[in-house]
Amino acid sequence: MKTFALADYAPEIASQLRNYGKLMRIDKPIGTWLLLWPTLWALWLAGEGTPDQGLFVVFMIGVFIMRSAGCVLNDFADRKIDPYVERTRTRPLATGAVAPLEALTLFAALGLIAIGLASMLNKQAQVLAVVGAGLTIIYPFIKRYLSIPQFVLGAAFGWAVPMAFAAQTGETPELAWLVFGIALVWAVIYDTFYAMVDREDDRKIGVKSTAVLFGDVDLFVIAGLQLVMLLGLVFVGFRAELGLWYYLSVAVAAGMMAWHLWLARDRQPAGCFAAFLKNHHIGMVIFIGIVLHYTFNPAA
C-alpha cells in the first residue's frame, strides 16, 4: 500500500508557494516602496520626528499586507485581460498556475491580517481603515468604467497618510490632507508612466487609463502634475515649519522629476517603465529630508 509522504509533495508545494508570492508581487517590491514612502512621511510629520514605535511596526506590516492584497485582487479582476497584454501575460492567474478561487482565498487571508492590524489602532484610524479597504477593493474594477483609474489608485495609496495622523495624534489636521493630496498626485504621475508601457495593448482591449486619456499631451500633463506636487511639498514645508534639509530634498526631487521626463521622452515602453521604477527614489529623498530636519532640529 502506498503511504502518504509530505516530502513527495514538497516540490509541488514549494512551486505553488512561489506562485502565490508572485501573485502578491513579493518578487517586485516597487509597489511596496511607493506605498511605504508617503506612510513614512506622515508618521514622521505626525510624530514630529519621533513616531510611536508600535504604530511604526503596525503601519510597516500594514503597507506590505495591503499592497499584497491589492495585487492579488487586481490580478483576479484582470485574469481575462492579462493574457492579452505583453507585460502581464505571465502572471500566475493569466497562465493558470493559480486558480481564481485560490486567489480569492489568499486575498481573504491577507484581509484578515489587515483587520487584525487595524484593531490595534484607535477608533478614528479604524474608521479610516474601512475607507482605505474600500478603495483597495474598488480600484481593480474601476478601469473598466473610468478613464482616470490612476486617481483612485492614488487615493488608495495615499490613504495611509490620514490614517497615520489619526493613529499618532487622534486627529486628521489640514497638514494630513495636504500630504494625502500630494501622495495622490504623485501616484497619478508614476502610474501614468506605468500605463504608458501598456498603452497600445490597453487601446486594443478597451482598458481605460490616464495614459490613454492624455494621449499625445501625456508628458505635458505629467510635467504639470509634477509642478503641482512640488508646490504642494513646499507648502508642506511651510505648514510643518520644516527647514533647509527638507527644502534641499525637494530640490533634489525636482531634478529627479526632470530626469524621469527625459527617460520617457520618446514614449518607448522601456523608458516609461524606467521612469516608473525610479519614481520611488523621490519618496525616499523627501523622507530623508524630513528625517534630517527633525534630527538636526529636535526642538522644532
Which amino acid does the sequence have at 138? I
How far lies 195's CA from each of 166, 208, 212, 264, 274, in Å?
A: 32, 9, 8, 12, 12
Q: How many CB atoms lie within 10 A of CB 10?
A: 10
Give the pLDDT confidence score for residue 31 in this predicted structure: 92
The pLDDT value recorded for residue 300 is 46
Range of the domain at 287: 29-296
Residue 20 lies in a domain: no
Cα-Cα end-to-end distance for the chain: 75
pLDDT of residue 8: 59
Asked if residue 215 belongs to a domain, the reply is: yes
Rounded Cα distance, 31 and 132, in Å? 16
Q: Residue 204: which of 85, 72, 76, 90 has the closest Cα?
A: 85
Residues 6+ apart with CB under 8 A from 87: 197, 198, 201
**The domain spanning residue 149 has which CATH number?**
1.10.357.140
Beta-carbon count within 10 A of 186 CB: 28
Residue 14 in domain? no
Residue 244 identity: L
Q: Which parts of the chain fold into alpha helices (H)?
A: 6-23, 30-46, 53-77, 92-95, 100-118, 123-142, 149-158, 160-169, 174-197, 199-205, 210-214, 218-239, 244-263, 269-278, 280-296
In tens digits, the chain (300 residues) has pLDDT values of 455 555 656 777 888 889 999 999 999 999 999 999 999 999 999 999 999 999 999 999 999 999 999 999 999 988 988 888 888 889 999 999 999 999 999 999 999 999 999 999 999 999 999 999 999 999 888 877 888 889 999 999 999 999 999 999 999 999 999 999 999 999 999 999 999 998 988 888 888 889 899 999 999 999 999 999 999 999 999 999 999 999 999 999 999 999 999 999 999 999 999 999 999 999 999 999 999 999 998 654
**For the stretch 88-119, what's the b/e string if a residue is b when 16 or more beta carbons lie within 10 angstroms of its beta carbon?**
beebbbbeebbeeebbeebbeebbebbeebbe
Is 15 a domain residue? Answer: no
The reported pTM is 0.92
Domain-located, residue 38: yes
Give the span between the Cα atoms of 300 and 298, in whole angstroms: 6
Q: Is residue 17 part of a domain?
A: no
In a domain, 78, yes or no: yes
Number of domains forming the structure of the chain: 1
Domain for residue 118, yes or no? yes
Residue 249 has a pLDDT of: 98
Q: What is the pLDDT of residue 5?
A: 58
Q: Is 40 helix (H, G, I), strand (E, B) or coil?
A: helix
Integer-rounded Cα radius of gyration of the chain: 20
**Residue closest to 291 by CA, chosen among 47, 52, 53:** 47
Residue with cell 527617460: 263
